[in-house]
Structure 1
Amino acid sequence: MAGRRRASRAGLSLVLLLAVLVGCGGRTASDSAQAEVQRVLDRRAAAVLDRDEPAYRATGQSAASVAEFGNLREVPLAAWSYRVTGFHRSGDRATADAELSYRVEGYDKAPVTAARDLSLTRSGGKWYVVSDEPAKDASEQLWEQGAVTVLRGEHSLVMGVGQSGERLRAYAGIADRAVPAVSQAWGTDWSAHVVVLVPRSLEGMAGLLGAEASGYQGIAAVTTGEAGASAKAPADRIIVNPDAYGVLGDFGKQVVLTHETTHVATRTHTTAATPLWLSEGYADWVGYLGSGRTAVQVAPELERAVVDGHVPAALPVDADFGFTGDAGKLAQAYEGGWMACRLIADRWGEVRLNDFYRAVGEHEKRSGAVEDALRDVLGTTPQEFTELWRDYLQAQLG
C-alpha cells in the first residue's frame, strides 16, 4: 500500500514538473518569452506615438534605435505597432521576426507594413531590444537614413532626408500642381493627395526600394504600391532619385511627378491584367497632356527608329521596360506606350481612353484582358489596333 502511495506521489511530482516546464494552459517557456517580447514591443510602439523618449529608451537603448526615434520627430504618425511573427531564443538572448505597421496621419487609409529583424537580450528578468533592422531583402524606412524633414503642401506631404526646406518646398509645389492635373484627366475617384519621399542620394532611394542602386541610375522617380489593391490601399509612395531628378529642367520635373502621381491615382484599376505599355504609356500621356509638345519632341528614340525604317512590329512587352537593360530600348518602350495611349485619345477620345484603361484592369489575368477591352470599348481587335499604331508612328514620327 505504501509502495503504491510513493508511486502515486512520484507520478504527481512528475505531472507537476511537466506543468512547470510547459507553463499554465500548456504554454511553453518559449511561448511565454515571446509574449513578453510582444509586450515590450507594444510599449515601444506606444512610446513612438506618444513621442515619449524615456519610455522608448526603457525598451532598449542601442544608439541606432535612439537616433531613429529622434529622426521620426517630425513624421505625422496616426498608428505604429509591431507584431511578432517568429521567435528564436537561446538563453538570455533572442531574435524575433516582426511586422511593423504604421500610418501617416491624413494620408494612409490603412497601415503600411514592413518586415523587421529584431535582436533582444534579457537582463534583470526583462527583455530589451538590442537592434531593429529591415529583414533580409526588405526595404529601409526613410528615418533609418537620417532626420526626416516634413513639408505639407496643399495636396502633398513631402518627407526628406538631407534636403533643405527650400528644396522640399519646390517638390511640394510640383506635386501640388500634379494632383489636380491628374484628377482632371483621370477623374476624382482617388485620394487626390500624394506622399513624396526624397532621400539624400541614389543610394538612399535604392535602400527605400530594397534594391541595388545600379538598377536605378538615371531613373528620376518611382512609385511604390500594390497594383490592383483595394480602394483603401495605403502604400503608394513616390520615391525620388535626387541625383537624376536634380538635373532635369522645370518642365521635366513636372512631367516626372505628374507621371508618378498618375500611378497613384490609377493604382486600384491597375492589376496583373494591365500591360506596362498601358500603365506607363497612360502615365506619360497624362504627364505631357496640355504641354503642347509634339510627338517628335516626346519620342526622339522612336522617331530615329521610324526614320531609319525600323518601325516596331508590335507594342512593347513588359520585359522592354526593365531598368537594367539598354537605355535606348527602354526609352522606345515608354515612347511606344505613350504613342499608343495618344492614338486612343486622338481617335476615340479621352473618355474612351480612361474607359479602356479601367476595362483592362477589371480582368483578373492578363489573358484576354486587352483583347476584350479593345473589342468592348474601342470596337477593334489587337491586330487592327497594332496596325493603326504602326501607321500612327509613321504619320507622327516619319
Structure 2
Amino acid sequence: MEKHLHIICFDVPYPVDHGGYFDLFYKLVALHQQGIRIHLHCFEHKRPQQSELEQYCVEVNYYPRQCGHKGFSHKLPYIVSSRTNATLEDRLLKDSHPILLEGVQCTYLLHDERFNNRKMILRLFNVEYKYYKQLFHSSNSLFHKMYYLNESRLLKRYEESIANKSLILTLSDQDTNTYRKEFGAKQVATLPVFLPYTQISAPEGVGCFCLYHGNLSVPENEAAAIWLMKKVFNDLRIPLVIAGKSPSSRLQRIAGKTKNACVVADPSEQEMQDMIGKAQINILPSFNVTGVKLKLLNALFNGRHCLVNEATVQSTGLEPACHIGTNATAFKSQIVQLYRQPFAEEEIRLRKSLLLSTFDNKQNAQRLIQWIF
C-alpha cells in the first residue's frame, strides 16, 4: 500500500546553498528512496521555483509568503503569520494524508480546528525564541534589534502553545530537553539532521590556511568573523580566509585592514567544499548556543582540524573530534600549535565512530517513517 505524506516547507529547499536547507532537501531524498509519495508545499519569497524537486515528489506546490506589513500580526510571530495560505489549507483538506511541518514557521495549521484529527509532525530546527534572542544580542541595527526582541517575546509564548499539539522531532538532545522541561512537551524526540555526506572525506596531511565559513549576512556569523580578525588574527602571521554568502562592506573593510586576512564572497558550493578540504584549520567560533551547527558537521566530514569554542559544540557529543578554545588567547595558542600539525588517520577513525552511525540518512528516514505511519 502506498504511503503518502504532505510536507510543508518554510522556503524552497533547493539549491542547498545554506545550512538551513540541508535537512529539508536531503530528508526529501531519503524519504523518496524509501518509497514515500511526497506532496511538497513550499512558501516562496526570494528563492525561485525548482524543477529539481519534482524528481522526489508526486507534486510540488508553491505559495507566496506574505511579506512586509501584510504578514504582521500582534498575536503571532512574524515567521508564522507570514506563512498562512487558504489555497494550501484547502488542498490539504482534500485527503487525510499525514502532514510534516518543517519548522515552527509552518505551524499555523496546529491552531486550525479543521485539522484537529489530522496526524501532524513538527520538525523543529531551533528553539526559535532563543535563536531570536541571540540575534537580538548580535545585531548592530537598532531596527533589527527591536524586531528580534519582539519576535523572541512572541515566539516564547507561541512555542509553549504548540508544544503538545503534535509529535515534535528536534535536531538535538538540547532542544528536546528544552521543550520537555520549559514547555512541558510530552511527545518530543531527537532525530539527527539529514546530510549529503556518507563518508569521512577529510584529507590527511597539512593544509595551507585557516578558514571561517558561513552565511555572512547573518549577524552572528559576521560578528564571529570580525572577532577572529580583531581579537585572534590581529597579531598572527598565519593566513585566514573568511568565505560565505553576502559579506557586508563593513566586514570586507575590516578584512582589508587585517594582515593575512581575506574575504571570499559568494563562493559556489564546489568552491566552498574545496576550501574546506584545503584548509589546515576550520575555525568555527559561535556566539549562539541554539540549534545544530551544520557548518561544523561539514568541516568534520570534509576538513582537517576543527577549532571551536564551547558554544559551538555544547551538548552535541562532537567535542572529542574538535579542539576547543575558551577565549581569544586560547584560540591563538591552538592555531599556532595546529597549523603545522599533520591531520592523521587516527583522527579520521575517531570521526567515523562519532559521525557515521548517527548521521545515517537511510536509518533516520526509516525511524521517521515509523513515527509518521
TM class by shorter-chain length? under 0.3
Higher share of residues assigned helix: 1
Considering only CA atoms, is the larger Rg found in Structure 1 or Structure 2?
1
Q: TM-score, normalised by structure 2?
A: 0.27
Task: Indicate the structure whose relative CO is greater, using CA pairs within 8 Å and at least 6 residues apart.
Answer: 2
